[in-house]
Amino acid sequence: MEEKAVETQVAIIGGGIAGAAIARELSKYKVDTCLIEKEVSVGCGITKGSMALVHGGIAYLSSRIIKRMDSDLSLEAFLNQPLNVKERLGEAGRDMYFELAPLLNTPITRPGRVMVAADQEQLELYKVIKKVAEANGVKDIVILDRDGLREKEPLINPKFIGGIYDPSEAAIFPPEWVRAFTENARDNGVHVFLDTEVKAIKENNGYYSLKTSNGLIKAEFVVNAAGLFADEIAGMIGKGDFSMFFYKCQMLILENKGYIQHVIARLPEPGRPRMLIPTTHGDLLVAHSMDQSTDKYDLSTTMEGLDLISTYPPDLIPNISPRKDIKASFAGFLAFNTKKLPDYLLEFPEERFLNVALAAPGLGPAPALAQEVIKMLADEGLELVEKNDFNPYRFTEPRFIDLPTEERNKKIQENPAYGHIVCRCEHVSEQEVVASVGTGARTLDDIKFRTRAGMGRCQGGFCTSRALQIMARELNVSPLELTKKGGNSYILKCETKELNEEEEK
Amino acid sequence: MFTKEVDLAIIGAGPAGIAAAISARKAGVDNILLLERAENLGGLLHQCIHNGFGLHYFKEDLTGPEYAERFINKLSSADVELCLNTMVTHLYPDRSIIAINQERGEFKISPRTVVLAMGCRERSRASIGIPGTRPSGIFTAGLAQRLVNVDGYLPGREFVILGSGDIGMIMARRLHLEGAKVKAVVEVMPHVGGLIRNEVQCLHDFDIPLLLEHTVTEIYGNERIEGVKIAQVDRDGIVKNSERSIDCDCLLLSVGLIPENELSKEAGVQLDNRTSGPIVDEFLQTNIDGIFATGNVLQVYDLVDNVTLAGERAGKNAAKYAAGTLKKQHKEIKVLSGENIKTVTPQKIVGFEDVELALRVQQPVEDAELIVGNYSKKYRVISPTELIKVVAKSSDLETFWESGEITVSCHKRRKDKVNG
């Protein structure tokens, strides 16, 4: 039997930071849009395992240095080359995040970036970076001498003789921003399909037919923002003239016991960024080891990788003991398209089929990228008529524990479930878990990333049993049906006595 | 904000907190408030449905819930105010407490005395940093115990257990009896982490394989755990080419307990790096006047009987403090950990009476001699898995007041060295 297709004007494939930002931007217009994500939650691909930074100007310039090796140009001339698309969008996107933050009710912090100099040569290099940055309109860059560096970061390793400071470097919690873009897009009419994997695409009669694991979607326009899988999606229409290549990056989360205030980085060397990042949650992210990888599903950490990154923090801040301060370790991907390396690939390989194949970093440029993509779609013939009822605001409940006492007590009076704290480490109330389920959380990881229950020092030892009970009650399912992150990631196997009864039979 | 004034506030109603409440009440404290974040009294005892509790305290073999019940019954006739489902969110140096529950909302408690009895938490996968994927199916042993014994669910059917703490070994037996397969208990040390009696009764009696000097080096499986790699370890670390895979759908971790001292730290209570618990005197008082600490928040105990005794001691001394009858000298003797001593409490002596020291050794010693200052005691064997209690008589302490230090150490008895 032929199943009935969902018909739409624009299908965005990929619910990462790019797809979500594009979906929200499109939702300002009278355009029927679908956002299609293969996982059960948005933002859990490359976005989730990223460094969580919205880069400042010197981050882009300093990362150019790695690429200078084969160039005959002088350092200054090399750095002075015009910005590429990624860098241009990065510059524009940063301020947009700060405009969006109050609208989407999603935090962004501005720790600033301190890059340290191990010797005079590096310090001179920073001076060139500052000169070029200023010529490009980047403001407030400061060259730090030894004392200046110590003033910024009192615990810094005394071996560093100075550095450069860029106040504009910002930090976000990426999955939350993806969720914010997505929820706001959905509130403005975008259809969000989760757990929906695109299997095949056919073009006929001015439509693209997307065969998905969740039925057929027919779209006039397709935006391929499938991240790591963008090459495969393009391949589905026979336009796989690029591939995505990627590095597996292992990272640590440490407790930040007042060690640092700013993002601290060494001058990047190939494969060794060596950075410490204060996260929006008050932790410390250690980034990262880099190994070129070919398995898009392999996010395993390795003994060698963890050992390597464990050497970064004491190198920068001798007081840090990764072994003692560790809260979590994980891996993410740093990906690039092969066609426009190291830039973004933004092009229509076919009419009305737009490849948005990114290159790290993808986070900072995303809001500006979204506007760029909308322009490209308009040029391709998508009619854009602004909605007059677009709602730019995304409502979220503030974290209960962050409210003033009077408000907390008012809330408990209105709903006693606020008075039941189910996560001992992050002080998350039962009602916040209930509310997360209400806004679409279906897995234990969803609850964790929305409420922080399970993210604290005991890593779910206390709250897991409680969260499962609340979720099962709210969703009216057995706890046996609940998963950590969808698919086969079930948490409980069976009821007690079942195995013995099985055996008796 | 609603403020409640009490003579004694106890944070945590596990066995330590309950014992403190009962003994403080008995010693004449009128106005006691017992704060507990969970929905039940007795802490984790209600999920410890195995036996072996009370052998010392009652000279009876009880299950965890039975042991708890005896104290809960005593407590119910002791006129102590209870706040269950109540999360203490702050403890300040002036001893004031902020707590949240459903009935009162957020409220403040101004106690004259505080007993810290928050217990401990389990070390997680993150804190030991096992490489590999991040699938579902990895639990601490205590969480698995709750899921099985309280919630009624099995978290898997083929298990590997990393670490041989008591909860891990007890869960190995429990899961075996549930019809699950425990493929291995993997322990990095050359001896189990928990009690010898648990090694015998939980592992050997059920032919559950115990792999000493082994560890888990990798976890695999993307959605649900599919297996682990294990390897042999020696003094230099992982032994080359000793890695092998074990398929399993669940990994339990029983790799140590950490006293829960976040509130203590906020109040400015000084902690001991060795125990990870507060530095206390023999009255179990911390550096903050009127704040006492007892049970697993002080140091990780192996027997609940000892937790109860420590709770009673804290309750009794808190009562004395409240009554102004706690007799202290204006000087102290620091108790130092010498050769082969991992932890010792109290860390300082300030009173006139005999002092009971509780200590743990680093390495097992046969034909051991335990030395406290000038006093020594012989043991056939001393093991790191068991907490040793030894009394330092006030008369023996006399000579140490001047130097202000006494050292505890443990080594093999000298007669064995005669040959050399």
What does the pLDDT look like over B46-76, one tens digit per residue? 999 999 999 999 999 999 999 999 999 999 9
Domain enclosing residue A132, as ranges? 108-170+245-334
Q: Are residues B240 and B269 in the same domain?
A: no
Residue A488 lies in a domain: no
Q: Looking at the complex, does the CB of residue B217 fall below 8 Å from at least one CB of chain A?
A: yes
pLDDT-above-90 percentage for chain A: 79
CB atoms within 10 A of CB B89: 16
Residue B180 lies in a domain: yes
Residue B146 lies in a domain: yes
Residue A86 lies in a domain: no
Asked if residue A453 lies in contact with residue A401, where contact means CB atoms within 8 angstroms, the answer is no
Give the per-residue pLDDT at B249.
98
Which residue of chain A has the CA closest to B238? A303
Q: Which CATH number covers residue A302?
A: 3.30.9.10
Q: Are residues B185 and B99 in the same domain?
A: no
Give the per-residue pLDDT at B334.
97
Q: If pLDDT is split at 50, 70 and 90, which confidence band does B416 have?
A: low
Q: Is the CB of A421 less than 8 angstroms away from the CB of B224?
A: no
Residue A420 pLDDT more than 50? yes
Write down the residue that tokens 């000892």 correspond to: B306
Q: With 0-12 CB in 10 A as exposed, 13-18 as middle and 19+ as buried, what is B271?
A: middle
pLDDT tens, A4-48?
799 999 999 999 999 999 999 999 999 999 999 999 999 989 998
Write down the residue that tokens 């200052």 correspond to: B373
Number of domains in chain A: 3
Top pLDDT among A76 and A196 is at A196
Mean pLDDT score, A51-56: 93
Residue B6 has which token pair? 């009490």
Q: Are residues A155 and A187 in the same domain?
A: no
Q: If pLDDT is split at 50, 70 and 90, which confidence band does B419 have?
A: very low
Q: Is the CB of A490 less than 8 angstroms away from the CB of B136?
A: yes
pLDDT tens, B175-192?
999 999 999 999 999 999
Per DSSP, the three-state class of A342 is coil
Q: If pLDDT is split at 50, 70 and 90, which confidence band does A503 have?
A: confident
Q: Is the CB of B126 less than 8 angstroms away from the CB of A421?
A: no
Q: Looking at the complex, does the CB of residue B52 fall below 8 Å from at least one CB of chain A?
A: no
Query: E strands along A300-387, which residues?
Result: 326-337, 345-350, 353-357
**Cβ-nearest to B143 among A457, A461, A489:** A461
Residue B203 has which token pair? 């592992």
Write out chain A residues lying below 8 Å of B89, CB-based: 401, 421, 427
Residue A22 lies in a domain: yes
Q: Is the CB of B136 less than 8 angstroms away from the CB of A299?
A: no
Q: Looking at the complex, does the CB of residue B179 fall below 8 Å from at least one CB of chain A?
A: yes
Q: Is the CB of B151 less than 8 angstroms away from the CB of A483?
A: no
Q: Are residues A265 and A148 in the same domain?
A: yes
Please report the number of interchain residue pairs, chain A to chain B, with beta-carbon separation below 8 angstroms.
Answer: 155
Amino acid at B136: S
pLDDT-above-70 percentage for chain B: 99
Asked if residue B145 lies in contact with residue B65, where contact means CB atoms within 8 angstroms, the answer is no
Q: Looking at the complex, does the CB of residue B105 fall below 8 Å from at least one CB of chain A?
A: yes
Mean pLDDT score, A149-167: 97
Q: Are residues B132 and B225 in the same domain?
A: yes
Q: Which CATH number covers residue B193?
A: 3.50.50.60
Q: Looking at the complex, does the CB of residue B1 fall below 8 Å from at least one CB of chain A?
A: yes
Q: Are residues B96 and B142 in the same domain?
A: no
Write out chain B residues lying below 8 Å of A302, CB-based: 131, 218
Mean pLDDT score, A473-502: 94
Mean pLDDT score, B1-15: 96
Mean pLDDT score, A273-286: 93
Q: Looking at the complex, does the CB of residue B82 fall below 8 Å from at least one CB of chain A?
A: no
Among residues 253-312 of chain B, which lie with CB inside 8 Å of chain A? 262
Domain enclosing residue B384, as ranges? 333-417
- Helices A444-451 and A430-438: crossing angle, nearest 10°? 110
Can you spell out the DSSP letters for B39-91? SSSSGGGGG--SS-BSTTTTSS-B-HHHHHHHHHHHHHTTT-EEE-S-EEEEE
Write out chain B residues lying below 8 Å of A421, CB-based: 37, 87, 89, 100
Q: Strand A170-172: give its sheet, edge to edge.
A: A53-54, A170-172, A108-109
Q: Which of B284, B277, B245, B272 is nearest to B261 (CA)?
A: B277
Q: Which of B169, B212, B167 is nearest to B189 (CA)?
A: B212
Q: Are residues B221 and B315 in the same domain?
A: no
Q: Are residues A118 and A163 in the same domain?
A: yes
CA geometry: angle at A86 spanning A83 and A90, to 5°?
90
Q: Are residues B43 and B113 in the same domain?
A: yes
Asked if residue A178 lies in contact with residue A17, where contact means CB atoms within 8 angstroms, the answer is yes
- Helices B64-76 and B304-323: crossing angle, nearest 10°? 20
**Cβ-nearest to B157 among A468, A479, A493:** A493
Q: Is the CB of A419 less than 8 angstroms away from the CB of B101?
A: yes
Residue A2 pLDDT more than 60? no
Q: Is the CB of A492 less than 8 angstroms away from the CB of B147?
A: yes
**Cβ-nearest to A327 among B87, B126, B140:** B126
Q: Are residues B307 and B210 in the same domain?
A: no
At a CB cut-off of 8 Å and minimum separation 6, what does A382 contact?
A: A9, A10, A31, A220, A221
- From B174's Cα to the closest Cα of chain A, the distance in A is 11
Q: Which helix (H) or strand (E) holds A85?
A: helix A85-104
Q: If pLDDT is split at 50, 70 and 90, which confidence band does A78 have?
A: confident
Mutation choice for A interface testing from B1, B36, B89, B121 by most A CBs within 10 A: B121
Q: Is the CB of A493 less than 8 angstroms away from the CB of B154?
A: yes
Q: How far lies A35's CA from each of A93, A178, A365, A384, in Å?
A: 21, 12, 19, 18
Q: Are residues B25 and B92 in the same domain?
A: yes
Q: How far lies B252's CA from each of A55, B139, B176, in Å?
A: 40, 5, 14
Q: Is the CB of B136 less than 8 angstroms away from the CB of A484?
A: yes
- From A198's Cα to the closest Cα of chain B, the distance in A is 20
Residue where a domain stops, chosen among B323, B356, B371: B323
Q: If pLDDT is split at 50, 70 and 90, which confidence band does A1 have?
A: very low
**Cβ-nearest to A483 among B136, B148, B218:** B136
Write out chain A residues lying below 8 Å of B157, CB-based: 493-494, 499
Residue where a domain stops, chosen among B228, B255, B282: B255
Q: How far lies A435's CA from each of A432, A440, B364, in Å?
A: 5, 9, 52
Write out chain B residues lying below 8 Å of A428, CB-based: none
CA pair distance B225, A327, nearest whole angstrom: 20
Give the per-residue pLDDT at A3.
64
**Cβ-nearest to B37 among A329, A424, A458:** A424
Residue where a domain stops, chosen among A334, A363, A388: A334
Write out chain B residues lying below 8 Å of A417, CB-based: 102
Q: Is the CB of A495 less than 8 angstroms away from the CB of B153?
A: yes
- From B306's Cα to the closest Cα of chain A, the distance in A is 24
Q: Are residues B387 and B268 in the same domain?
A: no
- From B65's Cα to the closest Cα of chain A, the distance in A is 19
Q: Are residues B235 and B268 in the same domain?
A: no
Phi and psi at A350, nearest 5°, equal -140, 160
Give the per-residue pLDDT at B317.
97
Q: Is the CB of B178 less than 8 angstroms away from the CB of A499?
A: yes
Q: Are residues B208 and B305 in the same domain?
A: no
Q: Which CATH number covers residue A353?
A: 3.50.50.60
Q: Is the CB of B121 less than 8 angstroms away from the CB of A329?
A: no
Mean pLDDT score, A137-165: 95
Q: Is the CB of A494 less than 8 angstroms away from the CB of B154?
A: yes
Residue A101 lies in a domain: no
Asked if residue B229 lies in contact with residue B245, where contact means CB atoms within 8 angstroms, the answer is yes
Q: Is the CB of B131 less than 8 angstroms away from the CB of A498?
A: no
Give the per-residue pLDDT at B420.
37
Residue B386 pLDDT more than 90? no
Give the per-residue pLDDT at B415.
63
Q: Looking at the complex, does the CB of residue B420 fall below 8 Å from at least one CB of chain A?
A: no
Q: If pLDDT is split at 50, 70 and 90, which confidence band does B127 have?
A: confident
Residue B184 lies in a domain: yes
**Cβ-nearest to A465 among B105, B146, B224:** B146
CA pair distance A4, B227, nearest whole angstrom: 42
Long-range contacts of B411-420 (CB under 8 A, 24+ apart): B411/B339, B411/B340, B411/B365, B411/B368, B411/B369, B411/B371, B412/B365, B412/B366, B412/B367, B412/B368, B412/B369, B413/B367, B413/B368, B413/B369, B413/B378, B414/B369, B416/B367
Residue where a domain stops, chosen among B293, B323, B353: B323
**Cβ-nearest to B155 among A300, A408, A493:** A493
Number of domains in chain B: 3
Residue A418 lies in a domain: yes
Q: With 0-12 CB in 10 A as exposed, 13-18 as middle and 19+ as buried, what is A70?
A: exposed
Across chain B, mean pLDDT equals 94
Q: If pLDDT is split at 50, 70 and 90, which confidence band does A325 have?
A: confident
Q: Looking at the complex, does the CB of residue B245 fall below 8 Å from at least one CB of chain A?
A: no
Residue A241 pLDDT more than 80? yes
Can you spell out the DSSP letters for B134-148? --B-EEEHHHHHHII
Torsion angle defined by CA atoms of residues B361, B362, B366 and B372, in that order, rounded to the nearest 10 degrees: -40
Q: Are residues B113 and B132 in the same domain?
A: no
